[in-house]
């Protein structure tokens, strides 16, 4: 409440003064009870005006703030919210946010009032309503009002501070009830606000997108380019308002969030974006060399620097930026400032989790070990994480020894985690069995209660599965059992190992059966019930192996038959019954040696990863080396490529390798970047076809074709046009991919522009009342260059103008943009965007152009670029004999495809030969004159260029029939897939009733 409001209410001022004057709590309670009784009476009488309600509610709120429970004033608060006076409305909102919880029945009464305030053009009322929604934030309120909050966020009429509050309110609702927010549906519109001129709005929206992108990465992938653009403006171009400079650092909070957002996505394939990021990171690291002017400047500068280093590590650990960063990190971990040491160790752990070589980190190993004794526990924890991540075969013994030494004095909060990490490192990097056994037993002996069940389970698994270590393990565990003090976990390990492998050392001095028995049994009286049960199983094993101590074992078992614990009593009774049965066959069968455990992933790693579970802001890496992070990154990228519409779950039916991994080796997903299983492909091409693929028709020698053959082939033009059984109708499913993709949502009405541009080099790609997109193209071999012209047809500016071009088959068709597009398109102006394409292999799907911009409302376009396989064909001039020689060499199906289709006659009623030849030429096939004696027929030749797939010779022959209005098109190429695709493209343009491209 503001000071004017408080000073105008004398009763409230006097009430506060009275409470402050109370010297003891009893007097304060007495004064409060008196006042509450008075207010309750006034509310009961009714007929209060707005001022009185405001005054009494203020007293109730003040009482609640002091920590006293109040049960009155709720309905009065609801009534005040509907007031037209700001001071009364303010007190009403303050009261409901403090006095009501999200599941209160009264919340339903205020939803309509809040909705009314959200709908008003009064920004002050908007903000009061947004505050209330964010503070209460119940599911019912979220369902009713989330759409209105989103509307305020995206509305062009909303003030900047309303947009900021709307973004943060939406963030609050999503964190509490994510299922209520249609995050994917709103993605494009929310991302567009990242380009807002006001940096405060951009900061608030980036905070929202950071959270949404972690759960819906595919829907919010457009934010990646926006983040790079904004960083480039702030860091490189110095494009920011002076009021956002914090101690000579431009808006550090936004820089940090943008750098973190980029880490949620794999590196961009666009070389232009990669270059921009590299320049930004270089500049940030260079700026960090400046001496800080004060503590605030230092903190802001370091916060940005560490986030930039983390991004550089994620992008490329071998880059020059990371090399510079590694030197800086070495200085940071020696800093006097605790925060800098903490961040230096944490960032170095990230580097260790991703880098191929650990040598730059090992240089600082002594310093990192010293950090275990830092005065701050957070630094000690980060030092432990880093030592765990940087450990390998060369330094494992040193690091494990230091960790064991530090374990004796470590904080209790760290000990359980340390035990897990020591056990994992010992197992992972052990090069000799004695060292593994000695270390793990020392760990179990010294760590005491901090050793979890997983640790001693794992020891038992490894010893059981490796014969070479069993005798040594039995000897060492017996030594530990004979020591003056022995923890119960050691007794468990000893009971199992000696029960299974004690016979291997029974002839050694000091390890006779009776000595083994006494070493274990003398400890049993201090053990818990589960441990005693395990020891009884050990005794019955010995009963079978060591007849000489049968009497002592039966004595113990008989005593356990009378204990109160049901589990122990039952075991003892059953074991005695086994021992007293005539013959030893059943006892021997029951007490047979345990088989090796099935190989499986380590429970220790699972337990450790649970301890480092993701927080609200999920990390892009986990504690551990590169192997530990490999699976996480592959799974993340596979999830991205599949889309996150189902929360990142893989669709049923995807081929995934069954993961049955060894104890010492982490599971590896064999999944490629597109999420498809990497299965070997077999070539079905014959040797002859392989020889014909890549046939360069320009350099082929001239061959003489006998006249008889050419006339025989050409006579087909005079035969009736009846489909032959050997040339089936071409179906698009022939070249369909194995996994059906979701249909593209293309902008309606753009198909006619696309269809025409498939056969010409330039023209209009799209046009409506606001925007015109023109296109000019040129192709040379397997490379192509497209110039896109975006023209604003209205006087208003287009803001958040975003252009994205992506290949739907990136392995076969590579699409790059040499420079980043502007994010603003002025009224009545035009901007050019150049796109480079490279045909690497056979493809069927043209690339996708996505355009979005704000012009009052959000406008989105999804268009196909007319980049088809035929665009990479180079025309070839062939003579009569050359053509028929190659036609014969290629042969019939499957390298020949044929289709009979209807076509339209020209305006004069004759065959439009000029149009047909123009379309064939538009498919970049050379029209060969004089090859076919029929003048209405067309014969063409060309060579398809692919940088990886090589060259493919292409021949075609078209035979129209005027009377039937049918035409037969035959395509022969040295690749059956190319034949099908070329035929499909040509028929779409030449036919009259065929499905368009």
Q: Which residue has the higher pLDDT, 982 or 445?
A: 982
Using only the alpha carbons of the chain, give its radius of gyration.
Answer: 39
Distances (CA, A) of 179 to 172, 175, 307, 650: 13, 10, 30, 20
- Residues in a beta bridge with 779: 784
Closest CA to 195 of 854, 788, 882: 854
Identify the band that residue 735 occupies on the pLDDT scale cut at 50, 70 and 90: very low
The one-character DSSP state at 506 is: T
- Residues in a beta bridge with 976: none
The one-character DSSP state at 509 is: T
For the record, the structure tokens of 869 come out as 């396989």
User: What integer pLDDT is reported at residue 632 of this predicted model?
Assistant: 61
* Cα 593 from Cα 588, distance rounded (Å): 9
pLDDT of 689 over the 50 cut: no
The string of pLDDT tens digits covering residues 236-248 is 999 999 999 998 8
* Cα 669 from Cα 671, distance rounded (Å): 6
Identify the band that residue 730 occupies on the pLDDT scale cut at 50, 70 and 90: very low
The string of pLDDT tens digits covering residues 302-312 is 999 999 999 99
Pairing mode of beta strands 799-806, 783-792: unpaired
Closest CA to 982 of 842, 811, 813: 842
pLDDT of 569 over the 80 cut: yes
8 Å CB contact between 898 and 968? yes
pLDDT, mean over the chain: 83
Sign of CA dihedral 469, 471, 477, 480: negative
* Cα 118 from Cα 95, distance rounded (Å): 19
624: three-class secondary structure by DSSP: coil
Q: How many CB atoms lie within 10 A of CB 970?
A: 21
Q: What percentage of the chain has pLDDT greater than the value 70?
A: 85
The one-character DSSP state at 146 is: H
User: What integer pLDDT is reported at residue 306 of this predicted model?
Assistant: 94
* Cα 536 from Cα 553, distance rounded (Å): 9
Listed as own residue / partner, the contacts of 679-686 with beta carbons closer than 8 Å and 24 or more positions apart are 679/655
Closest CA to 542 of 523, 514, 570: 514
pLDDT of 697 over the 80 cut: no
Burial bucket for residue 606 (CB in 10 Å: 0-12, 13-18, 19+): exposed
- Residues in a beta bridge with 875: 942
Query: What is the rounded average pLDDT of the residues 642-659?
Result: 31
List CB contacts of 789: < 8 A, sequence separation 6 or more. Answer: 772, 773, 774, 775, 776, 830, 831, 832
The pTM for the full model equals 0.74
User: What integer pLDDT is reported at residue 610 of this predicted model?
Assistant: 62
- Residues in a beta bridge with 897: 971
User: What integer pLDDT is reported at residue 633 of this predicted model?
Assistant: 60
The string of pLDDT tens digits covering residues 476-525 is 989 988 888 888 888 888 898 998 888 888 888 888 989 988 988 888 88
The string of pLDDT tens digits covering residues 455-480 is 888 888 888 888 888 899 999 989 98
8 Å CB contact between 511 and 475? yes
* Cα 315 from Cα 311, distance rounded (Å): 6
Q: How many CB atoms lie within 10 A of CB 45?
A: 8
Identify the band that residue 527 occupies on the pLDDT scale cut at 50, 70 and 90: confident
pLDDT of 2 over the 50 cut: no
Q: What percentage of the chain has pLDDT greater than the value 90?
A: 44
User: What integer pLDDT is reported at residue 996 of this predicted model?
Assistant: 66
User: What integer pLDDT is reported at residue 466 of this predicted model?
Assistant: 86
- Cα-Cα-Cα-Cα torsion 913, 919, 924, 925, nearest 10 degrees, comes to -30
The string of pLDDT tens digits covering residues 65-110 is 998 988 888 888 888 898 889 989 999 999 998 888 877 777 778 8
pLDDT of 880 over the 80 cut: yes
Q: What backbone torsions phi and psi does residue 938 show, to the nearest 5 degrees? A: -130, 135
Identify the band that residue 364 occupies on the pLDDT scale cut at 50, 70 and 90: very high
Q: How many CB atoms lie within 10 A of CB 215?
A: 16
pLDDT of 687 over the 60 cut: no
SS (H, E, C) 215-269: HCCCCCCCHHHHHHHHHHHHHHCCCCCHHHEECCEECHHHHHHHHHHHCCCCCCC
User: What integer pLDDT is reported at residue 841 of this predicted model?
Assistant: 95
- Residues in a beta bridge with 813: 839
* Cα 356 from Cα 87, distance rounded (Å): 63
8 Å CB contact between 60 and 42? no
Sign of CA dihedral 88, 93, 95, 100: positive
Sign of CA dihedral 934, 935, 936, 941: positive
For the record, the structure tokens of 325 come out as 């960063």
pLDDT of 719 over the 50 cut: no
* Cα 776 from Cα 764, distance rounded (Å): 9
8 Å CB contact between 40 and 73? no
Identify the band that residue 704 occupies on the pLDDT scale cut at 50, 70 and 90: very low
For the record, the structure tokens of 286 come out as 């260079």
pLDDT of 737 over the 60 cut: no
The string of pLDDT tens digits covering residues 5-24 is 444 678 889 999 999 999 89
Closest CA to 871 of 833, 809, 818, 925: 925
Query: What is the rounded average pLDDT of the residues 26-43?
Result: 91
The string of pLDDT tens digits covering residues 911-948 is 889 999 999 999 999 999 989 889 899 999 999 999 99
Q: What backbone torsions phi and psi does residue 858 show, to the nearest 5 degrees? A: -80, 130
For the record, the structure tokens of 250 come out as 């431009």
Distances (CA, A) of 552 to 416, 537, 563, 697: 38, 15, 18, 96
* Cα 952 from Cα 872, distance rounded (Å): 11
* Cα 529 from Cα 518, distance rounded (Å): 19
The string of pLDDT tens digits covering residues 214-237 is 999 999 999 999 999 999 999 999
The one-character DSSP state at 798 is: B
For the record, the structure tokens of 997 come out as 């491209």
pLDDT of 435 over the 60 cut: yes
Sign of CA dihedral 346, 347, 349, 350: positive
DSSP element (H, E) containing 837: strand 830-839
Q: How many CB atoms lie within 10 A of CB 551?
A: 8
List CB contacts of 646: < 8 A, sequence separation 6 or more. Answer: none
Identify the band that residue 260 occupies on the pLDDT scale cut at 50, 70 and 90: very high
Query: What is the rounded average pLDDT of the residues 434-455?
Result: 84
- Cα-Cα-Cα-Cα torsion 339, 340, 346, 347, nearest 10 degrees, comes to 150
* Cα 465 from Cα 963, distance rounded (Å): 83
181: three-class secondary structure by DSSP: coil
* Cα 569 from Cα 984, distance rounded (Å): 81
């Amino acid at each position: 409440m503001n000071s004017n409001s408080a000073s105008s209410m004398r009763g409230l001022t006097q009430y506060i003064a009275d409470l402050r004057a109370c010297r003891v709590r009893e007097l304060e309670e007495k004064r409060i009870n008196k006042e509450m009784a008075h207010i309750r009476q006034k509310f009961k009488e009714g007929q209060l005006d707005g001022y009185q309600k405001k005054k009494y509610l203020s007293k109730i709120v003040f009482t609640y703030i002091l920590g006293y429970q109040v049960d009155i004033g709720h309905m009065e608060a609801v009534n005040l919210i509907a007031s037209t006076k700001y001071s009364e409305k303010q007190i009403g909102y303050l009261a409901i946010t403090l006095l009501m919880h999200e599941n209160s029945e009264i919340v339903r009464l205020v939803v309509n009032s809040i909705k009314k305030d959200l709908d008003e053009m009064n920004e002050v009322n908007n903000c009061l309503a947004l505050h209330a929604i964010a503070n209460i934030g119940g599911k019912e309120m979220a369902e009713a009002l989330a759409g209105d909050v989103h509307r305020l966020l995206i509305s062009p009429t909303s003030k900047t501070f309303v947009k900021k509050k709307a973004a943060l309110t939406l963030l609050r609702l999503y964190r509490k009830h994510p299922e209520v927010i249609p995050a994917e549906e709103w993605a494009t519109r929310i991302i567009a606000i990242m380009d807002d001129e006001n940096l405060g709005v951009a900061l608030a929206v980036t905070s929202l997108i950071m959270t949404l992108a972690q759960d819906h990465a595919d829907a919010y992938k457009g934010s990646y380019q926006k983040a790079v653009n904004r960083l480039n403006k702030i860091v490189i171009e110095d494009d920011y308002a002076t009021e956002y400079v914090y101690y000579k650092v431009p808006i550090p909070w936004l820089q940090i969030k943008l750098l973190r957002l980029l880490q949620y996505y794999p590196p961009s394939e666009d070389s232009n974006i990669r270059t921009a990021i590299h320049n930004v990171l270089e500049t940030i690291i260079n700026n960090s060399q400046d001496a800080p002017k004060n503590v605030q400047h230092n903190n802001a500068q370091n916060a940005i620097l560490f986030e930039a280093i983390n991004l550089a590590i994620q992008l490329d650990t071998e880059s020059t930026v990371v090399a510079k960063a590694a030197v800086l990190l070495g200085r940071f971990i020696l800093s006097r400032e605790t925060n800098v040491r903490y961040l230096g160790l944490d960032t170095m752990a990230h580097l260790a989790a991703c880098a191929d070589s650990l040598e730059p980190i090992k240089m600082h190993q002594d310093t990192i070990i010293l950090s275990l004794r830092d005065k701050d526990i957070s630094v000690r924890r980060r030092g432990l994480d880093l030592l765990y991540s940087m450990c390998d075969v060369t330094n494992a013994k040193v690091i494990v020894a230091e960790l064991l030494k530090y374990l004796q004095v470590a904080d209790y909060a760290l000990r359980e985690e340390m035990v897990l990490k020591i056990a994992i490192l010992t197992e992972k990097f052990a090069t000799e069995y004695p060292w593994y056994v000695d270390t793990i037993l020392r760990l179990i002996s010294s760590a005491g209660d901090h050793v979890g069940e997983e640790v001693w389970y794992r020891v038992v698994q490894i010893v059981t599965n490796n014969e070479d270590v069993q005798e040594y393990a039995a000897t060492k565990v017996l030594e530990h059992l004979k020591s003056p003090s022995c923890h119960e976990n050691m007794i468990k390990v000893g009971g199992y190992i000696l029960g299974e492998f004690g016979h291997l050392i029974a002839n050694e001095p000091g390890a006779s059966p009776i000595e083994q028995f006494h070493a274990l049994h003398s400890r049993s009286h201090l053990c818990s019930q589960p441990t005693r049960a395990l020891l009884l199983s050990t005794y019955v094993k010995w009963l079978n192996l060591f007849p000489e101590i049968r009497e002592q074992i039966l004595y113990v078992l008989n005593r356990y038959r009378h204990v109160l614990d049901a589990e122990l009593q039952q075991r003892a009774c059953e074991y005695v019954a086994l021992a007293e049965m005539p013959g030893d066959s059943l006892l021997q069968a029951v007490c047979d040696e345990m088989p090796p455990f099935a190989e499986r992933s380590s429970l220790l790693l699972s337990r450790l990863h649970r301890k480092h579970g993701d927080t609200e802001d999920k990390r892009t890496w986990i504690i551990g080396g590169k192997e530990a992070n490999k699976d996480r990154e592959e799974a993340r990228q596979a999830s991205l490529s599949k889309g996150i519409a189902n929360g990142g779950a893989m669709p049923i039916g995807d081929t995934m390798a069954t993961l049955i991994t060894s104890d010492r080796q982490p599971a590896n997903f064999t999944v490629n970047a597109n999420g498809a299983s990497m299965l070997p492909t077999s070539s079905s091409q014959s040797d002859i076809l392989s020889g014909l693929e890549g046939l360069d028709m320009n350099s082929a020698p001239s061959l003489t074709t006998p006249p008889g053959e050419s006339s025989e082939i050409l006579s087909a033009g005079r035969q009736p046009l009846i489909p032959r059984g050997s040339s089936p109708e071409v179906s698009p499913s022939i070249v369909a991919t194995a996994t059906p993709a979701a249909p593209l949502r293309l902008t309606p009405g753009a198909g006619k522009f696309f269809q025409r541009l498939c056969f010409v080099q330039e023209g209009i790609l799209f046009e409506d009342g606001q925007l015109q997109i023109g296109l000019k193209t040129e192709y040379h071999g397997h490379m192509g260059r497209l110039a896109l012209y975006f023209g604003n047809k209205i006087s208003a500016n287009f803001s958040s103008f975003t252009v994205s071009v992506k290949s739907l088959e990136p392995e076969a068709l590579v699409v790059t943009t040499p420079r980043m597009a502007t994010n603003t398109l002025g009224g009545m102006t035009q901007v050019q965007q150049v796109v480079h394409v490279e045909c690497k292999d056979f493809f069927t799907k043209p690339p996708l152009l996505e355009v979005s911009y704000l012009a009052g409302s959000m406008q989105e376009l999804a268009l196909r670029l007319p980049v088809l396989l035929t665009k990479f064909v180079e025309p070839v001039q062939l003579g009569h004999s050359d053509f028929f020689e190659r036609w014969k060499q290629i042969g019939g199906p499957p390298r020949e495809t044929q289709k009979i289709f209807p076509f339209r006659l020209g305006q004069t009623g004759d065959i439009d030969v000029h149009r047909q030849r123009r379309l064939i030429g538009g498919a970049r096939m050379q029209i060969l004159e004089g090859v076919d004696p029929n003048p209405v027929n067309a014969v063409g030749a060309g060579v398809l260029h692919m940088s990886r797939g090589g060259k493919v010779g292409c021949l075609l022959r078209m035979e129209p029939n005027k009377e039937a209005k049918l035409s037969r098109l035959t395509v022969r190429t040295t690749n059956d897939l190319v034949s099908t695709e070329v035929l499909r493209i040509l028929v779409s343009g030449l036919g009259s009733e065929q499905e368009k491209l």
